[in-house]
């Protein structure tokens, strides 16, 4: 039998995720899993501070796109909030469009109304 791992396509079109970005996605998913379970582990705020805020621009956007492709609505909101706080961020309609799609597919339409629309007003 062949090793199928060699034939696997990248999870994001056009760019491979860096090691730091992959670790950030995994840590975020672990943190959101332990919030409801109460099994200890990393809190979401601690993971955001330790993993996401220290990423470079390309990796931070890659984490946002990866979480969008995985349909992680609540995590996408958290990472998007971090991206918006960065000095290099400029509002793009395509990012908001992707956010709306993810939140709607996750059953969180009430969160769409809370997105910061002031940039387009």
List, for residues 58-104, the tens digit of each pLDDT value. 999 999 999 999 999 999 999 999 999 999 999 888 998 999 999 99
- Long-range own/partner contacts, residues 63-68 (CB < 8 A, 24 or more apart): 63/17, 63/21, 63/24, 63/25, 63/28, 64/95, 65/12, 65/98, 66/11, 66/12, 66/17, 66/21, 66/25, 67/25, 67/28, 68/98, 68/99, 68/101, 68/102
Residue 20 lies in a domain: yes
Q: Which domain range does residue 21 map to?
A: 13-120
Residue 6 lies in a domain: no
Residue 108 lies in a domain: yes
Residue 102 lies in a domain: yes
d(CA 75, CA 24): 11
The CATH code of the domain that includes 103 is: 1.25.40.10
Integer angstrom CA distances of residue 84 from 14, 37, 49, 53, 88? 23, 29, 15, 11, 9
Q: Could you give the number of structural domains in the chain?
A: 1
Residue 56 lies in a domain: yes
Q: Distance of alpha carbon 71 from its chain centroid, rounded?
A: 9
Residue 87 lies in a domain: yes
Q: Render pLDDT for 17-42 as a digit per residue (tens, 0 to 9).
A: 899 999 999 999 999 886 555 554 55
Residue 1 lies in a domain: no
Largest separation between any pair of C-alpha atoms in the chain? 57
pLDDT of 58: 93
Q: Tell me the mean pLDDT in the region 35-64.
A: 83
Residue 34 lies in a domain: yes
């Amino acid at each position: 039998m062949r090793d199928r791992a060699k034939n696997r396509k990248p999870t994001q079109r056009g760019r491979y995720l860096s090691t730091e970005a992959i670790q950030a996605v995994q840590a975020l998913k672990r943190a959101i899993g332990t919030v409801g379970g109460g099994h200890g582990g990393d809190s979401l705020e601690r993971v955001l501070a330790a993993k996401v805020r220290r990423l470079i621009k390309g990796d931070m956007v890659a984490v946002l796109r990866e979480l969008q492709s995985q349909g992680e609505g609540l995590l996408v909101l958290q990472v998007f909030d971090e991206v918006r706080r960065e000095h290099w961020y400029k509002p793009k309609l395509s990012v908001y469009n992707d956010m709306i799609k993810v939140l709607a597919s996750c059953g969180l339409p009430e969160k769409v109304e809370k997105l910061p629309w002031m940039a387009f007003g």
